[in-house]
Amino acid sequence: MSAIAFAPEFALAQGPTQEELEAKRERLQQEIEQINHLLFAQKEKKGTVLDRMEALNQKIKVRERLIRVTNEQSNLLNRKINTNINSISALKKELNDLKDDYATMIQKGYQSKIQQSKLMFLLSSENFFQAFKRVQYIKQYTDFRRQQGEKIVIKTNKLTALNKELTSQRKEKDRLIAANRKAKNELDTEKKSQQELLRSIRKDETKFAAEIRDKQNQARQIDREIERLVREAVANANKEAGKADDDPSKFLLTPEAAIIANSFSANKGRLIWPVEKGFKSQGFGVYSDAIYPGIKHQSNGVIITTDKGAKARAIFRGEVIAILSIPGGNKAVQLKHGNYISTYYNLSDLYVKKGDLVEAKTELGKIYTNRSNGQTRLKFYLHQNTSKLNPEEWVYQL
């Protein structure tokens, strides 16, 4: 990029770069592919209408994020294209001025005594001092001509590079526009399907409202049980350490546990996923129902949808402090990382036992696959002592 464009470039540098946005766009495209593979790939439609509605709603949300990111990319590229156009215009003027100056200098040089005869110019000097000065003048004149010629070459090369970059940027913009047009068409199709599903649901609204309440109650029951078991894990650990009278909401940390806790904390935002691959199908916190937006749900963890047969894995080194069996649900494993607890729920088979020391990526158990809808989902929780944490803030790009 030309030096004369430094001010606009500084402004551009404040936001995400084109490369960062492209990486984000690719991740969203991969997430859509995973949703298609994991939720829509079955030849026969599995699951209830509610399952399909939730899956479609998830896909629409990701598609809308993809369109926003692509628009952001296109806008950034537009600003870069305008910057380059301005740079090219300024550079052309500089180059024309340089060429005019150079031509004038050559013309005047041929008309001067220097070009007619450098030797006569020197020999006609009245004394040695004047001859020395004329030698210096000739040298400076020659150097100046050379420098002007070099500047013309440099400016010409810059102009060529900028024109090439501009051509590339315009092609990239056309690609983004085409990609966004395709994404918007797909979004329109998905929203039509969503409306059709909504109409079918509202034909039997009483039945589906009851199903939603049942799912909501089941999720609340699991979350409450996880919270109870976390408090119990802290109390048991302190009791085993002979400190049952201390604050029951906080782990008593040994020097070794404090080191692990500090290391865990230092890796905030960089922890590995609790599955090898998959996508986040439900985030942390309060969210609106896919069918009745007025109904709010609370999630104390995140849900990750993955492949059938997938294994849950430790996000960090730690100790297995509990193997849980949730009433009316499946199994869970709790790991202690200093004063942090990670919980992996919805396991059918377990590969570890209480007291085991594990490293990051250690397989903890096989994730349960729902027979009615074919979905394999891990619910993942994170706590510091007994306080809930948002896993999306701790796990890399979750």
Q: How many residues does the chain have?
A: 398
pLDDT tens by residue, 220-253? 888 888 888 888 888 887 777 666 556 677 888 8
The top-scoring range by mean pLDDT among 162-166, 232-236, 287-291, 391-395 is 391-395
**One domain for residues 162 and 271:** no
**One domain for residues 176 and 314:** no
CA separation for the pair 220, 299 (Å, rounded): 8
In this predicted structure, the answer to whether residue 262 has a pLDDT above a threshold of 80 is yes
Q: Residue 373, Cβ neighbours under 10 Å: how many? A: 19
Q: Is the distance from CB of 71 to CB of 177 less than 8 angstroms? A: no
In a domain, 373, yes or no: yes
Residue scoring higher pLDDT (376 or 57): 376
Q: Residue 197, Cβ neighbours under 10 Å: how many? A: 18
CATH code for the domain in which residue 75 is found:
1.10.287
For the chain, the distance separating the N- and C-terminal CA atoms, rounded to the nearest angstrom, is: 35
In a domain, 217, yes or no: no
Residue pointed to by tokens 């040089």:
109
CATH code for the domain in which residue 293 is found:
2.70.70.10
CA separation for the pair 287, 295 (Å, rounded): 9
Which of 170, 202, 234 is the C-terminal boundary of a domain? 202
Lowest mean pLDDT of 85-89, 113-117, 268-272, 289-293, name the range: 113-117
In a domain, 312, yes or no: yes
For the chain, helix, strand, coil in percent to 5 are: 60, 15, 25
**One domain for residues 232 and 298:** yes
Q: Is the distance from CB of 162 to CB of 86 less than 8 angstroms? A: no
**One domain for residues 379 and 251:** yes
In this predicted structure, the answer to whether residue 383 has a pLDDT above a threshold of 70 is yes
In a domain, 209, yes or no: no
Q: What angle do CA 395, 281, 278 make, to 5 degrees?
A: 65
Q: 3: pLDDT confidence band, cut at 50, 70 and 90?
A: very low
Which of 132, 167, 202 is the C-terminal boundary of a domain? 202
213 CB-side CA count, 13 A: 6
Relative orientation angle of helices 49-111 and 128-202, to the nearest 10 degrees: 160
Q: Residue 325, Cβ neighbours under 10 Å: how many? A: 11
**One domain for residues 196 and 237:** no
CA separation for the pair 57, 53 (Å, rounded): 6
**One domain for residues 128 and 236:** no
Report pLDDT for 105.
62
Residue range(s) defining the domain that contains residue 364: 226-393
In a domain, 172, yes or no: yes
Report pLDDT for 8.
38
In a domain, 189, yes or no: yes
Q: Residue 263, Cβ neighbours under 10 Å: how many? A: 13
CA separation for the pair 377, 345 (Å, rounded): 9
pLDDT tens by residue, 347-373? 998 999 998 999 999 999 999 988 877
**One domain for residues 378 and 302:** yes
Tokens of 230: 């976390």
pLDDT tens by residue, 303-350? 998 888 999 999 999 999 988 887 666 899 999 999 999 999 999 989
pLDDT tens by residue, 275-298? 998 888 888 888 877 777 777 778
Q: Is the distance from CB of 350 to CB of 323 less than 8 angstroms? A: yes
Q: 10: pLDDT confidence band, cut at 50, 70 and 90?
A: very low
**One domain for residues 108 and 13:** yes
In this predicted structure, the answer to whether residue 182 has a pLDDT above a threshold of 60 is yes
**One domain for residues 179 and 285:** no
Scored b (16 or more CB within 10 A) or e, 232-250 reads: bbbbebbeeeeeeeeeeee
Report pLDDT for 4.
32
Report pLDDT for 280.
87
In a domain, 208, yes or no: no
Tokens of 283: 């985030």
**One domain for residues 195 and 279:** no
Q: Residue 142, Cβ neighbours under 10 Å: how many? A: 13
Residue 379 three-state SS: strand
| Count of domains observed in the chain | 2
In a domain, 213, yes or no: no
Question: pLDDT averaged over the chain?
Answer: 77
Q: Which amino acid appears at position 297 of this protein?
A: H
Determine phi and psi for 267, rounding to 5 degrees.
Answer: -95, 15
Q: Is the pTM of this model over 0.75?
A: no
The closest alpha carbon to 328, from 240, 220, 221, belongs to 221
**One domain for residues 251 and 371:** yes
The closest alpha carbon to 142, from 114, 103, 113, 184, belongs to 114
Which of 154, 186, 202 is the C-terminal boundary of a domain? 202
In this predicted structure, the answer to whether residue 5 has a pLDDT above a threshold of 80 is no
Pairing state of beta strands 387-389 and 376-384?
A: antiparallel
What are the beta bridge partners of residue 365? 312, 350
**One domain for residues 183 and 242:** no
DSSP collapsed to 3 states, 279-320: EEEECCEEEECCCCCCCEEEECCEEEEECCCCEEECCCCEEE
In this predicted structure, the answer to whether residue 41 has a pLDDT above a threshold of 70 is no
Residue pointed to by tokens 């999630």:
299
